[in-house]
Amino acid sequence: MNYFVSNNWGKNQYQNLNDAHTRSTSTVRFIFCCIALGLCSTLLILSLWNPNTYIPTIRTYVLHLDRRQPLLHTISDKFLSFGLDTSLLRTMNELPIKQEKFINLGRHLSPAYVRVGGTSADCLIFDQNQIVQSSSEKILSPVDGQDISNFTITGADLLAVYNFAVKSKLRMIFDLNVLLRNPDGSWNDTNAQEIITFAKNQAMELDWQLGNEPNSFKHVFNVTISANELAKNYDRLRQLLDEAGYVDSILVGPEVNHVGEQNHIGEEYAKIFLRSQSSTVNYVTWHQYYLNGREAIVKDFVNPLIFNWLPAQIKSLGEFIAASGKNVSMWLSETSTAYGGGAPELSDRFVAGFLWLDKLGYSASAGLNVVTRQSLFGGNYAMVSPNLTPNPDWWVSIFYKQFVSEKVLKLITSNNFGYVRLYAHCTPKEARVARVPAVTIYGMNIDKIAVHINIPELFVQSGEMMKIFFYSLTADNLQSSEIKLNGQVLKLQSNGDLPPFQSIILDPTDPVILPPYSMVFMIVHGIDIPVCE
């Protein structure tokens, strides 16, 4: 089903877009006039109040889109994925995976991976026939205070999580416990074999990983597993998967954190791991957060210096991967704005969307294959609230899924590391109007003043018909739980379907204005970029 009103138009209706444009343009111009009048009135009042008041002007941001460019990258169709933290399995009765409303929210984000992993993955023990879950005496992590005691799940528990994934049309990744060790320190793979055998007998189609943030085990569990040893454990796991019939399942690792720090602890661990394993991992995985959830403030979420931490991390890890001698692509297999469960009243609010959307844009342009958002449910960074209402990042993810394809293009800009940050992809075929060629430009303005976007390539020769479908995501305040599309609050329909996404239709000659503190998706219909076909 298509969820944007314009997309069910036929070819003749596309040719008549001028009629729609005339109506929309008059509306847009009326809005712009009101905005301009309001700005002028405000500035006049300010100038009378204080003659020395600074009067801001709208800046113009110029970018170029080379029509003959090659594809920059092709990413996974599951590029935007998300996690369910393993800690949620400690209280299965509180996890809404059997509720149709929650299943529906997951389904709207497919295709995607749902990664069941996290710190508690290295506390999980599987007992297929145990009647009820069991847990040992609670032990709190010295790092963030979360429960790191061992606990048991049953075959029914594992099936319940898997069935959620199947019904939501998601591909599940399961993180196995690497801290089950033999007296000589080697990995005790008995429990992993039980999980794999059970999963295969139940015809589960799964992908796998082993351990969570192993370079931090000493701080969290007071246990050390070297990168060399973990590589041996991964080789063994690959053997077990192949023997069980999971030959086509991917295996990802080593799930490191602390990437980009001065001592390069995460990168060094990943490099040694890659050198030591027998090319068993399909993707190099690592975890990324910008902020400490207990210390973050709202200004951090619109500070370009915070955003620019990610490019530095990707560059650093890429250099260490190259130094390992292995040519393996990266996944961000766990990521959000702030670690420690997120920042209260920030990581699940409108303002978190800027860091999330920029992470998607930059990661795709850098060639990462998958980015896994932590978490769909649970914690202060949840995409879905406890009452199963979508949080703003869920809506941002929906727009990305609808309007951004796996084909990554290059935008030429003088600076994409400041307050205006934009990216380009080919538009998915499902989002085109009557199969007319299209490109999606998306990104944000995290400044407090509006910005004018100028794309010279859109001023085409006469005879070519081009329209810009403009979608602006804003909120009444940065910490709002609601998000607006072109001024209207986004809400699911009563049956759980997505609402129609009403765009503002512009000509290339119309001013393209990014409001203050806004995220935008601009679908440029009629621009022909051969690599998009």
H-helix or E-strand containing 131?
none
Local confidence band at 16 (pLDDT 50, 70, 90 cut-offs): very low
Q: What percent of the chain has pLDDT over 70?
A: 87
Burial class of 359 by CB neighbour count within 10 A (0 to 12, 13 to 18, 19+) = buried
Question: What are the CA-CA distances from residue 376 to residues 9, 147, 335, 389 (Å)?
Answer: 33, 20, 12, 11
Q: Give yes or no for residue 333 having a pLDDT over 90.
A: yes
Q: How far apart are CA 233 and CA 225, in angstroms?
A: 10
Q: How far apart are CA 426 and CA 65, in angstroms?
A: 12
Q: Which residue has the tokens 């969570």?
A: 212
Largest CA distance in the chain: 80
Q: How do the domains of the chain map onto residue ranges? A: 5-72+409-532, 76-405
Kindly state the average pLDDT of the residues 350-360.
99
Least-confidence region, from 33-42, 72-81, 102-111: 33-42
Local confidence band at 27 (pLDDT 50, 70, 90 cut-offs): very low
Q: How many helices (H) and strands (E) does the chain have?
A: 12, 24
H-helix or E-strand containing 79?
none
Residue type, 300: D
pTM of the model: 0.90
Q: Give yes or no for residue 347 having a pLDDT over 80.
A: yes
pLDDT, position 134: 66
pLDDT, position 126: 98
pLDDT, position 56: 54
Kindly state the average pLDDT of the residues 504-522.
95
Q: What is the pLDDT of residues 364-396, one digit of tens each?
A: 999 999 999 999 999 999 999 999 999 999 999
Question: Cα dihedral sign for 109, 396, 20, 487?
Answer: positive
pLDDT, position 179: 98
Mean pLDDT, rounded, of the chain:
90
Q: How far apart are CA 275 and CA 105, in angstroms?
A: 40
CA Rg, the chain, in Å?
24
Structure tokens at 43: 């500035």
Local confidence band at 19 (pLDDT 50, 70, 90 cut-offs): very low
Helices (H), ranges, 188-287: 190-201, 217-221, 227-244, 265-276
Question: Cα dihedral sign for 366, 394, 87, 196?
Answer: negative
pLDDT, position 130: 82
Helices (H), ranges, 6-62: 11-15, 17-49
Q: Give yes or no for residue 342 having a pLDDT over 70.
A: yes
pLDDT, position 441: 98
Q: How far apart are CA 468 and CA 85, in angstroms?
A: 39
334: β partners: 287
Least-confidence region, from 21-25, 85-89, 144-148: 21-25
pLDDT, position 460: 65
Kindly state the average pLDDT of the residues 202-209.
98
pLDDT, position 447: 97
Is the domain defined by 76-405 classed in CATH 3.60.20.10?
no
Residue type, 337: T
Per the CB < 8 A criterion, the answer to whether 131 and 153 are in contact is no
Q: What's the CATH number of domain 5-72+409-532, 3.30.1180.20, 2.60.40.1180, 3.20.20.70, 1.10.3720.10?
A: 2.60.40.1180
Structure tokens at 450: 């509006």
Kindly state the average pLDDT of the residues 106-116.
98
pLDDT, position 21: 44
3-state secondary structure of 113: strand
Least-confidence region, from 55-69, 171-185, 356-370, 496-510: 55-69
